[in-house]
Amino acid sequence: MVTLRCSQALLRKIRSAIEDDLETESALGDWYGRAIIVRPVQLVLCTNERSLLSVVIPLSPVTTLVDRFRSAAIDRINQIPISSELLAKECSALEDIRVGRAKSRSVISAMNHLTYGVESWLAYPHPNDLEHLGLTLCNTPISSISTHWPWLEAELLMTGSAVPGRKWKVPPDAL
């Protein structure tokens, strides 16, 4: 079980039952969600609490937001170059997703930083590829995590060690 901890603005949009006091069963911890509205685009930035891995999904339709988040998060986790057993365990925690309020100021601060990257990415002509945007955010150095790189931090959290320079399981043309 994992909690998608949403900003107040996102909670108002999705109108879901809020469950705040639940313990996560995931090595990576909970995920945080924030709506990014840059007319005419409406997106949700979802960032992992411990590793700061990120995925970006469309906001609408809000009724399927949690399901689309689950799918995107599982895809992102499966790109981490670790054993399939650890990947399966982490992905199985995403089968039960609850919605709660955002709590961690440091994660919110990191998401503010990543939001600038999303907004600048949207300001220039590009293919409308949210996977590429998410991978770009995962390759953004962030000083609030020990390794400074979300990919390495996720690997470290899940295995206890990280290998700098290791290739992640992403499509070669994605970065």
Give me the pLDDT at residue 99, please: 93
The residue among 131, 132, 111, 5 whose CA lies nearest residue 52 is 111
CB 91 within 8 A of CB 42: no
The domain spans of the chain are 2-159
Give me the pLDDT at residue 33, please: 97
Distances 161 to 51, 82, 121, 154, 155 between C-alpha atoms, Å = 13, 10, 32, 10, 7
Choose the CATH number for 2-159 among 3.30.420, 3.40.1440, 3.30.40, 1.10.3470.
3.30.420
Give me the pLDDT at residue 73, please: 97
Give me the pLDDT at residue 11, please: 92
Residue with tokens 């930083």: 113
Two structure tokens written together for 62: 């809000």
Long-range Cβ pairs for the range 143-146 (8 Å, 24+): 144/52, 144/106, 144/109, 144/110, 145/51, 145/52
Give me the pLDDT at residue 16, please: 77
Residue type present at position 28? L
Cα(147)–Cα(32) distance, integer angstroms: 20
Two structure tokens written together for 57: 């999904």
SS3 164: coil
Give me the pLDDT at residue 35, please: 95
Along the 175 residues of the chain, how does pLDDT read in single tens digits? 899 999 999 999 988 778 777 778 789 999 999 999 988 889 999 999 999 999 999 999 999 999 999 999 999 999 999 999 999 999 999 999 999 999 999 999 999 999 999 998 888 877 778 998 999 999 899 988 888 889 889 999 999 877 666 666 665 455 5
SS3 13: helix
Give me the pLDDT at residue 15, please: 82
